[in-house]
Structure 1
């Protein structure tokens, strides 16, 4: 199997500093480091000593069994759930549930979780379970409702589902009708090119869609199918059974909310003093908790503290601390975490050895260290997720044909394409039109001097006239170049296909393209290649040739 490494720095300086250990000042923001083998042993020992601070592992395992059974889990996954019941540590990471799993980076995160757990298990000599946290409590429908695929006509197509009517609630609570799944499957079938695996893939997706009440349900079923052999355990943050287990932690977050607010503010100030920008809002007065309440149509509403009560932003919903504590105890499914409290809840549910995060997540987790300490916890090891670019055989062939490196495609594709076309110009069209323009100027400028000598007012008219003629020469040259380039339309299409496959919409492949095209073309082989690709605990980017 051929793979190459490629340095693909993120746009997050704080994440880069953590990954490469270029700024020792930030060590206090994170504590452990994924690249230090001794930190894995140290974290495992501390987890074992702090078992009483988490929820009951047997109760958690019961909730996980119910959820994963609905997702069509494998025997390997159920074996891992049994290990969780016995107190096995986990490597965890997650993402919002997207249509057909969303962009490829979701798959990359799942691969990273599986591989990091396997390496940790080998080092520690005990089971370490990979867990994928489906962020079904998020309510950003427009971020979750679409997938991009490359069609048989080599065009990028966005497939999407409109938000059903109703309140702006979580993705897991937003119902998707059977007829919507049929329409989405029909659009996917129409968009994808024919392949030997396409009928079986569509049949499997159609089977999964039966009874899938939401994008989150379908997301879980697809991820469970793709990573069943790896024993990946799934959890939906908005699952009612999980919410009941979270009740004591919600109560603690409400009772100590002011302390948590001060902790987030202190961490934010430290990040600022170190010269880094913030990747999550630390808003004064924010409870960092959401509420689904009858008074606001069960929309997911962020709570703020005002006048001794918890209110929505506009003050239209207002409940007392006592009422909120009652909800935490009796109806915890009405509560939901935000990005700053979710890490704490995750650590309350699981013995988290390590968490797999993307660059933006690494940056905002820096705001949570003090909050962990307030709750008598500590931040787990942060593992930067691996990223990959999948290069199919045809694309690799075109890159060789046009002498394009991966770096060329990522950073200077337009220039390389233009240069290649220019080399094909044996007629030297651009050069000859440039020569004609210069020759015209040399002949015409003495005439302008002559005209101005006859009447000074003719100088401006003559200069305008000269510029118009030059523009016409340039226009004719441009048209001639375009006509010449049409002879190379096949090559142009091949070049554009390379860019579309590797850097669609001007972005890294993983942030745009969906996994369906690769499942359609390679069945399970592409996932197996990713799982077999060399893994680095400190992240990195690999080019994987399929």
Structure 2
């Protein structure tokens, strides 16, 4: 696949992420390792020691992955982690409908590439692990999928009548999933690859399957051949293996809060944002209805949302000891549990994850851990041939299409050979003001009570001038209709909904158009240094 790239600095990413990529010295105090320094990576891998028990790790992964597949390549990857020097390259994502947007695949491809690089360069066994966010309860974020319909972004949504949701991984699809697939079929026009795609989706997404099972099966069907296995914490076994970390989040809550709060304050003082608000508790409670409820702390008393009862610290610790599966980690505690379950020397992160990992260096140390190498994921926009053909005919660089469509249209019209209405109306308004102000003063001198009426007439006339300017712009737009339609099409394709394409469009959209092996082909053309820029993949 042909590709080129543009710097992250030219795109709508946070200042923290831009610094992480291109000016690491600015943020190095917030991380343990520089992901672009091969010497640091080498030393980290040589010094890495897994805090958990490898036999328990292997058994946990075998049991977890058996829920999704019995493919021999999955067992082979799991067994690789039984060796003392093996490491996991972990990444993860919410269980978004039909596999989620492009960045889900980009995370997985980065993990695969990084694991292969570790094996080839440093001689360490490495396994890419995709962590299913199976304890998340944010239904709205996972229930919507975006695709192109004639160059326009449309959203397909999984409806629900529930007021409160269990952990999304436990939600079972009903017949609505069949209707959603039909809706998706009606949007994705038929290609030579459609039958294979629908067979795959029918195998993974069907009535009676949970959101977690469907998502996990899809990921393994596509990427287990590259060594990918799955992980997740929504199981009794996972909670029993991480019981001590869950208990420490309670017994050492003050120290943990201080560690997060101090680093978050330093981030703010350094001019960066804090991605996640720090709270006294990092735990959720799973109630009898399966709903995940935030646990709050007030001194030595702990209580969950919606409950009038509270527990003393000792009672809560006993509850965790006896029923760890009734508890769920927040965004800070989840990576800690990961690193007790897996030998996670590397984590592949998106921009938002890099931001909250920047808050966590001292938090890891409180648990006797070192933060993993935080490897930024591959970032890209898929540029289809129809877009490639029209880009040279337009005056904008690719990154400029992140602007509002109204601004792009105005800039194009103002830059064209046609008369520019802006200076015309600017001069007209200035001349009008010069004429009207003395007249208003003269009328006010005759009758002060008429000043307000005079000002209103002036304002109405200025409004009429603005309306006329709008008509002139519309006339020019009509004259340049073809070019403006091209601008709209490019804008919609590259920045659908005003966001980067990788954040909005289902990755299966491109599988339908270019084949189920499109990601294998992209993987084959990727290099380890491509995550330093945003890539343009020309299809």
TM range (shorter): 0.7 to 0.9
Q: Is contact 1:268-1:278 (8 Å) kept?
A: yes
Aligned to 1:117, which of 108, 115, 118?
115
Q: Name the structure 1 match of 2:180.
A: 184
Match of 1:263 among 259, 262, 268: 259
Range that drifts further, 38-47 or 134-143: 38-47
Seen in structure 2, the aligned counterparts of structure 1 residues 429 and 302 have a Cα distance that, compared at 3 Å, is closer
SS of the residue 1:298 aligns to: coil
Residue 285 of structure 2 is matched in structure 1 by: 291
Deviation of 1:233 (Å):
1.2
- In 2, the alpha carbon distance for the partners of 1:60 and 1:207 equals 29
SS in 2 for 1:311: strand
Tell me the residue number matched to 1:337.
Answer: 329
Contact kept, 8 Å, 2:7 with 2:534, in 1: the verdict is: yes
CA contact (8 A) 1:291 1:335 kept: yes
* Residue 478 (structure 1) shift: 5.1
Aligned CA distance change for structure 1 residues 228 and 314 (closer, same or farther; 3 Å) = closer
In 1, Cα distance between the equivalents of 2:124 and 2:466?
72
| Separation in 1, partners of 2:362, 2:307 | 29
**Is the 8 Å Cα contact of residues 32 and 381 (structure 1) preserved in structure 2?**
yes
What is the alpha-carbon distance in structure 2 between the residues aligned to residue 431 and residue 210 of structure 1? 57
Deviation at 1:504, TM superposition (A): 1.3
In 2, Cα distance between equivalents of 1:494 and 1:475: 26
Deviation by residue 1:87-120 (Cα, 9 ceiling, x = unmatched):
4201111111111222222222122211122212
Give me the whole-angstrom Cα distance separating, in 1, the residues matched to 2:425 and 2:272: 50
Could you tell me which residue of structure 2 aligns to residue 229 of structure 1? 225
CA distance in 1: counterparts of 2:356 and 2:421, whole angstroms: 52
1:386 to 378, 385, 390: 378
CA distance in 2 between counterparts of 1:27 and 1:431 reads 47
Question: TM-score under structure 1 normalisation?
Answer: 0.85
Aligned residues of 2:100 and 2:145 also touching (Cα < 8 A): yes
Structure 1 equivalent of residue 82 of structure 2: 85
Q: Are the structure 2 counterparts of residues 331 and 483 from structure 1 closer, same or farther at C-alpha, using a change threshold of 3 Å?
A: same
CA contact (8 A) 2:33 2:373 kept: yes
- 8 Å contact kept, 1:5–1:541: yes
Distance, in Å, in 2 between the alignment partners of 1:432 and 1:86 is: 73
Q: How far does residue 151 in structure 1 lie from its aligned partner after superposition? A: 1.1
Structure 1 equivalent of residue 340 of structure 2: 348
1:138 to partner: Cα distance: 1.1
- Is the 2:4–2:537 contact (alpha carbons within 8 Å) kept by the matching residues of 1? yes
* 2:240 equivalent to 1:244: yes
Q: 1:123 to 1:290 in 2, by over 3 A?
A: same
Alignment partner, residue 28 of structure 2:
27
Give the Cα–Cα distance (whole angstroms) in 2 for the partners of residues 128 and 471 of structure 1.
67
CA displacement 1:327-385 (0-9 Å, x = unmatched): 33332221111111112111111111111112222222232222222222111111112
1:545 equivalent in structure 2: 538
Map 1:252-331 to 2 at 5 A: 252-283=248-279, 286-294=280-288, 297-306=289-298, 308-313=300-305, 316-331=308-323
CA RMSD of aligned residues (A): 3.6
Question: Match of 1:7?
Answer: 7
Contact 2:332 2:360 in 1 (8 A): yes
Aligned partner of residue 42 in structure 1, secondary structure: helix
In 2, distance between residues paired with 1:269 and 1:404?
A: 40
Conserved 8 A contact 1:362-1:384: yes
Whether the 8 Å CA contact 1:437–1:470 is kept in 2: the answer is no
Equivalent residue runs for 1:118-517 within 5 Å? 118-152=116-150, 154-165=151-162, 167-177=164-174, 179-210=175-206, 213-283=209-279, 286-294=280-288, 297-306=289-298, 308-313=300-305, 316-411=308-403, 414=406, 417-418=409-410, 420=412, 479=471, 482=474, 485-486=477-478, 489-517=481-509
Q: Secondary structure at the match of 1:234?
A: strand
Whole-Å separation in 1 of the counterparts to 2:377 and 2:246: 29
Q: Which deviates further from its counterpart, 508-517 or 429-438?
A: 429-438
Give the SS at the match of 1:19.
helix
TM superposition score normalised by structure 2: 0.86
Determine helix, strand or coil for the equivalent of 1:131.
strand
1-side partners of 2:130 and 2:427: how far apart?
Answer: 66
1:418 is displaced (CA, Å) by 4.2
Unaligned runs of 5+ in 2: none
**188-197 or 271-280, which moves further after superposition?**
271-280
Distance 1:115 1:42, change over 3 A: same
